[in-house]
Every structure is written in C-alpha cells, then in structure tokens.
Structure 1
Amino acid sequence: MKIETKTLYEQDFYRWIETTVNLLQEGRWTEIERENLIEELISMGKSERNALKSNLRVLLMHLLKYQYEPERRSNSWLYTIFEHRKRIQDSLQDSPSLKRYLEEVFEECYKNARKEASLETGLTKDKFPLNSPFSIDEVLDEDFLPV
C-alpha cells in the first residue's frame, strides 16, 4: 500500500517529514515522494547558506561599529560579535564545505555590512573602507577585535 505523501506534504508538513523519515529508514524507496524530498533538501542547503551570510554580515557590521565608534563600545556589541562568530564557527564545523561559500560571499557581505553600519551609526558610508579591513581569518578569530 503506497502512502500518499504528496497530499500529506500539502496538509501536514511535519507529519510528511516523519512519514518520509520512516520510509527512508525502512528502505521503502518506491513509496517516497521524491519531488518534495528533493525540493526540501535544496531548501535546506539554501537555508544553511543564507544563515551563514546573515551571521557574517551582522558580525562584519559590528566589527566595523566597534572599530569606528570606539566611544560607543558596549558589552552588547561584544556579545553580538561573540554570538555571530560562534554561529559561523558552528556552521563551518557542521559543514566544512561552507568555508568555500563563505570565501565567495565575503566581499558581498562586507559591502552590505558597510551600508548597514552606516545606517545604524549615522556615519556616512564613505567613513568605512570600500574593501574589508578585516581578513576572513581575523573575522573568524575568537580573540580578534579591531583597534
């Protein structure tokens, strides 16, 4: 008896996941609704990449704020730097292949972080360097803080 997982996918996503996992564990390959499974796996990959980019952008923005507004430094900024650095490190530990992706999007994330830092601080965008003053290694280094 074939389980109608496509209908289940549309009606109860979590139940579809449970059912699909059970079918995979039992080796019942022909009963798996492959199209939705493929779509979800692709979506998971995109989510991982988007989370990495988001965390990198927030981290870069706070490193810029930390460097260019020393008089406003706070424990909250330090916590944000620590938290987003840790999230990136966790992502890279779980999925080392994301390191290559981080390298690919680093400059794009910096450009967005530069704009966000400008908006958040009220400083004009030209106050921040056009290219990242931080290397990837510095950004990921838990002990690094700009001067």
Structure 2
Amino acid sequence: MTAQLPQSQKSGSSLYEQDFYLWIQTTAELLKQKSFTQLDLDNLIEEIETMGRSEKRALESNLEVLLMHLLKYQIQTERRSKSWQYTILEHRRRVQKALLESPSLKPHFDQVFEESYQTARRLAVIETGLALATFPEQSPFTLEQVLDCDFLSVS
C-alpha cells in the first residue's frame, strides 16, 4: 500500500495542521515503506519529543497522587478508606509500570521526587483541610518505600 496524501493536502505540514490523525497514519505508512524523503520531519521530531515529555509528566502526576494518598493514609489513620487504598495501589502500579517499561525514567523519578512530595503535601492540605505543618516538610517516605507494595500495606 502506498501512502497518498489527499489532493487538497499536498505537504505533510499542512496535513499535520488539517488532520492530525490522518497525518499519523500517513507518517506511519511512509515509515513502513521507508519513504523517508516524504516524511514531515519537523513535525515528526516535535511529536516524538512531546511523547517523551508526556511520559515524564505522567510519571510526576502519578507520583504526586501516590505521595498525597500515602500521606493521608499515614496521618489520618481514622479516615482510611477503600478509596484511598485503591488510589495507592493504582498509582503505585502506574509508577512501577512506567519505570518498568521505560527504565531510563528512573533518574527523572529520583530527580523530581522531592518536588513531587512538596506538591503532594500541598494537595493533601487541600484535600484534608489540615494545616500544612501537619505534614512533614521532608518526605517521610523513601523512594524505595513509595514503590514497595508492602509498605503501608493496604491488604
């Protein structure tokens, strides 16, 4: 099958702007055919870089939610719920899966851990209504504990 651009969309760049999904399909087909000279390289490079940034943002977001719920789970023992347990399990799984599928994200995980903890701390204040001072300034959890399914076990 030969990738053909619609007559009204001769350049890859205009196809990218007019119909992103069609641009993806066309780009994939051009790559399969090894028709490298027809590729819209500028937009392809941008999309690949964006994918990397998205992976990092998703890891940070899942880490923040996980840390917030670990904080709540540890500090508000009387309010522990199945919902919190589910959230801890689900976001821990997402972080672990991201690191398993892309081990090169581990340095980023290590790098953003403290910043993510500070965000989680502020989120916990909003969710609980407790004072910021209720939550430790430094993470009470190590990186290893955050990833350990047995830590603050929710069984």
- TM norm structure 1: 0.96
Runs of 4 or more consecutive aligned structure 1 residues displaced over 6 Å after TM superposition? none
Pairing of 1:42-121 with structure 2 (within 5 A): 42-121=49-128
1:30 paired to 2:37:
yes
Number of positions where the alignment pairs a residue of Structure 1 with one of Structure 2: 146
For the pair shown, the structure with the greater C-alpha radius of gyration is 2
Give per-residue Cα distances to partners, 1:8-56, cap 9 Å, x unaligned.
1111101100100111111111100100001101110110000000000
In 2, distance between residues paired with 1:55 and 1:113?
A: 10
Give per-residue Cα distances to partners, 1:40-78, cap 9 Å, x unaligned.
011101100000000000000000000110000001000
State the 1:4 CA deviation.
1.9
State the 1:6 CA deviation.
1.0
Query: Aligned match of 1:16 in 15, 23, 47?
Result: 23
Query: Aligned match of 1:133 in 140, 144, 152?
Result: 140
Gap runs ≥5 in structure 2? none
In 1, distance between residues paired with 2:12 and 2:101?
A: 30
In 2, distance between residues paired with 1:119 and 1:128?
A: 12
Gap runs ≥5 in structure 1? none
Identity %: 55
In 1, distance between residues paired with 2:32 and 2:99?
A: 27
Structure 2 counterpart of 1:10, one-letter code:
E
Mean CA deviation greater in 69-78 or 137-146? 137-146
In 1, distance between residues paired with 2:106 and 2:82?
A: 28
In 1, distance between residues paired with 2:126 and 2:40?
A: 46
State the 1:94 CA deviation.
0.9
In 1, distance between residues paired with 2:47 and 2:55?
A: 12
